[in-house]
Structure 1
Amino acid sequence: MSTPIRIRPLAAAEAAQRVPELADVLLDCVEGGASVSFMLPLSREKAEAFWRAVAEGVARGERVLLVAEDTDGRAVGTVQLVTAMPDNQPHRADVAKMLVHRRARRQGVAQRLLDAVDAQALAAGKTVLVLDTVTGSDAERLYARCGWQRVGSIPNYALMPDGAPCATTYFHKQLPAA
């Protein structure tokens, strides 16, 4: 049985206040083997510094931070919509750092975060979304099921948290213009 989950954007001030809680989600994902730019061992200090920088990006209007909360209001997942793009790409955004705590996986949290990203993107006037993920991962299958189009993969693109090389697959999604 799945737990009711609420998805909502966090304003910069709330994101800054919730840095320790957001760091918990990141630490869990990296410790669980997610290749999301960090290596093991990931210190709490480094995880919290990452989230402080995200909150600063939200404050500057460069990104939207969405959080998935359980019935107790605890963060169980996050995703970011990076909206700060070059002048010739005002219609595009990157989807980054889709993170779902292991205790909340396989409950539809990631799909709901993706639906919320689409809504936030359209509200921001973004109609082309791009993301990348580990080739062969559960996330790759999720993105394909959610209507994302596979562009291709790059071998040995990144490292898993334990140092093993991994390929990365790029996806794009075209949203209907308003």
Structure 2
Amino acid sequence: MTAVSRLDAADVAACAEELADLLTDTVHGGASVGFLAPLDRAAALAWWKGRATEVSAGELAVWAARDGGRVVGTVSLAFPDKPNSRHRAELVKLMVHRSARGRGLGRTLLATAERAAEDSGVTLLHLDTETDSPAERLYLAAGWTRLGAIPDYAASPAGELRPTTIYYKRIGAPPHTR
């Protein structure tokens, strides 16, 4: 049974090794999450350890999915620091280990982040993902709206420039009705 829980800064630091393994598996599997392959495990570990500071500052919320005690998935929400944008958050780093795919874990992680965002007063979520990636099917099925694509936005893990598609989703009560 897979359990999803929110991580505090100490949790992120404590399970950084497992999160680094998940990140390297995701990149080596071809998913575009901001890193090039081959991703050095030490670099993945350093990246995750750096997230603990953002979690502590309230700039980032991180959830981890565990199966048999091992981290097999994660999703995060990045919160803007500007006063005029406190109603929105960016969904980032939705990752599922290749060994755990095909069981609905991506949908579970996405729904968890959406519920938490709504509970915290966020009414608008946005994200970007590689155009024509498997992730696009997930977001469309979950009711996200495709805004458009930006050509040559980011390099794939293989280093090829690829387009990125921007999505958004309104959640909760619109700001003008609160």
User: Shorter-chain-normalised TM-score: which range?
Assistant: over 0.9
* 1:92 Cα offset (Å): 0.3
* 1:170 Cα offset (Å): 0.4
Q: Tell me, in whole angstroms, the C-alpha distance in 1 between the residues paired with 2:55 and 2:148.
A: 30
1:58 maps to 55
Q: Tell me, in whole angstroms, the C-alpha distance in 2 between the residues paired with 1:69 and 1:17.
A: 14
Does residue 111 (structure 1) correspond to residue 110 (structure 2)? The answer is: no
Partner of residue 165 from structure 1, selected from 150, 161, 168: 161
Partner of residue 73 from structure 1, selected from 69, 75, 78: 69
2:8 maps to 11
Q: Residue type of the partner of 1:52?
A: K
Partner of residue 41 from structure 1, selected from 24, 27, 38: 38
SS in 1 for 2:83: coil
* 1:84 Cα offset (Å): 3.0
1:128 maps to 124
Q: Tell me, in whole angstroms, the C-alpha distance in 2 between the residues paired with 1:112 and 1:126.
A: 19
* 1:49 Cα offset (Å): 0.9
1:29 maps to 26
Q: Residue type of the partner of 2:52?
A: A
* 1:55 Cα offset (Å): 1.4
Partner of residue 145 from structure 2, selected from 129, 144, 149: 149
- Which deviates further from its counterpart, 33-42 or 107-116? 33-42
RMSD over aligned Cα, in angstroms?
Answer: 1.0
Contact 1:85 1:93 in 2 (8 A): no
Q: Residue type of the partner of 1:137?
A: S
Q: Tell me, in whole angstroms, the C-alpha distance in 1 between the residues paired with 2:112 and 2:23.
A: 20
Q: Tell me, in whole angstroms, the C-alpha distance in 2 between the residues paired with 1:62 and 1:84.
A: 7
- The residue correspondences of 1:86-97 to structure 2 (distance < 5 A) are 86-97=82-93
Q: Tell me, in whole angstroms, the C-alpha distance in 1 between the residues paired with 2:111 and 2:57.
A: 24
Q: Tell me, in whole angstroms, the C-alpha distance in 1 between the residues paired with 2:47 and 2:119.
A: 26
Deviating above 2 A after TM superposition, structure 1's stretches of 4 or more consecutive aligned residues are none
Instruction: Structure 1: state its 5+ residue gaps.
Output: none
Contact 2:72 2:97 in 1 (8 A): yes
Deviation by residue 1:69-116 (Cα, 9 ceiling, x = unmatched): 11x121100010112332111100000011110000111001000110
Q: Tell me, in whole angstroms, the C-alpha distance in 1 between the residues paired with 2:47 and 2:143.
A: 29
| TM-score, normalised via structure 1 length | 0.95
Instruction: Structure 2: state its 5+ residue gaps.
Output: none
| TM-score, normalised via structure 2 length | 0.95
